[in-house]
Amino acid sequence: MKLLLLFSLVALAQCFVHRIPLRKGKTLRQALKEHGLLERYLKEHPYNPAAKYFRTRVSSEPMENYMDNSYYGTISIGTPPQEFTVIFDTGSSNLWVPSVYCSSLPCSNHKLFNPAKSSTFVSTNETVYIAYGTGSMSGILGYDTVKVADIEVYNQIFGLSETEPGDFFYYCPFDGILGLAYPSIASAGATPVFDNMMTEGLVARDLFSVYLSKDEESGSFVLFGAIDPYYVTNGITWIPLSAETYWQITMHRVSINGKVTACSHDCQAIVDTGTSLLAMPNNDLTKILEALGATSSGEIQCKDRDTLPDVVFHINGALFPVTPSAYVVESDGVCSLGFEGMDVSTESGVQWILGDVFIREYYVVFNRAKNMVGLSRLA
């Protein structure tokens, strides 16, 4: 089943998608062997252990803050490199970009990958299909060199879109998506980029960390292989994962003014850079809107925002407040709360999505070595 969150009042922001597929994929060696190409490929791409050693590093990927609704950076695919902007999405696991095989409307205003122009591209006969609430993507899988910041991942499997029906992706300011969740939820069983970084020893530590700027300011980044000490002066609170699928955790309750308001008997949540708002079950949303004096559509008087209380998340014995300056969104003189209702039944039991409204308050460490999320409150 697929999970979609629409996160903005404007179509330009409706560009984040999440999915729950379940298969482990084939390695490049397996795929090449099946098609009788392994021997030739090994001759053309000899293994060099020294090159692998010297590629080990810490690498920071800057991200652009687009209207506080999306954060994306630039990667390259192929030889010579073809550049694409992608969402670094902890709520999904696949890498895909538009391709020259695509004739859908969204492909008319985005960069297209051309495998014929890459000397390192390896094609497959495998297909990938991902359905969303307001659109879908289908295409083929291939292998090529993917460069993220200054880390080169050789033989990375990725999707080349052939169809992107409707106008869903047309309005997105980025080209594709680079998923950073676990391989267990990767569509078509494709190995995620960060898993290959870890396997090939391309990161100093098996973790990455994220900082999202506020108010459309610059400075957002995802840091592969390290934790930036500048952003953790308040210490790190570590939270164990409840499932190795999304970056999924157990929340114990949500309170306002010291009173339990939502999630009163534990609930499952995911920490998701690919969702702009903070999503929750509709009945919990109603309770929070009432507690904050908002209308049923989430609107408030702009003059009241400075007097609103924090919304406090109780997780693993610690308190994580989200301030009104973080959860009140103003657009064209109208103020609304950055919360979204959803009622989705998923195999993993996810009920809440802690999106960018939450993440902007914290420096977040995604630790694959220990299967934990670390949160450090920002000043």
> Residues with Cβ < 8 Å from 146, sequence gap 6 or more?
75, 76, 77, 95, 152, 153, 156, 158, 193
- Token output for 359: 């993440």
List 144, 175, 195, 272, catalytic entry: 272
d(CA 125, CA 314): 47
- Say whether 284 is catalytic: no
CB of 212 closer than 8 Å to CB of 68: no
Comparing CA positions, the residue from 261, 242, 236, 238 lying closest to residue 312 is 261
Task: Count the Cβ atoms, other than its own, within 10 Å of residue 165.
Answer: 15
- Say whether 206 is catalytic: no
Give the three-state DSSP class for 118: coil
CB of 279 closer than 8 Å to CB of 340: yes
84-114 exposure pattern, b = at least 16 Cβ within 10 A, e = fewer: bbbbbbbbbbbbbbbbebbebebbeebbbbe
DSSP 271-313: E-TT-SSEEE-HHHHHHHHHHTT--TTSEE-GGGGGGPPPEEE
Helix, strand, coil percentages for the chain (3-state, nearest 5): 20, 40, 40
> Residues with Cβ < 8 Å from 329, sequence gap 6 or more?
68, 335, 336, 337, 338
d(CA 67, CA 276): 10
Length of the chain, please?
Answer: 379
Comparing CA positions, the residue from 170, 357, 335, 374 lying closest to residue 279 is 357
- Token output for 209: 């960390």
List 89, 195, 284, 310, catalytic entry: 89
Give me the active site residues, please. Answer: 89, 272
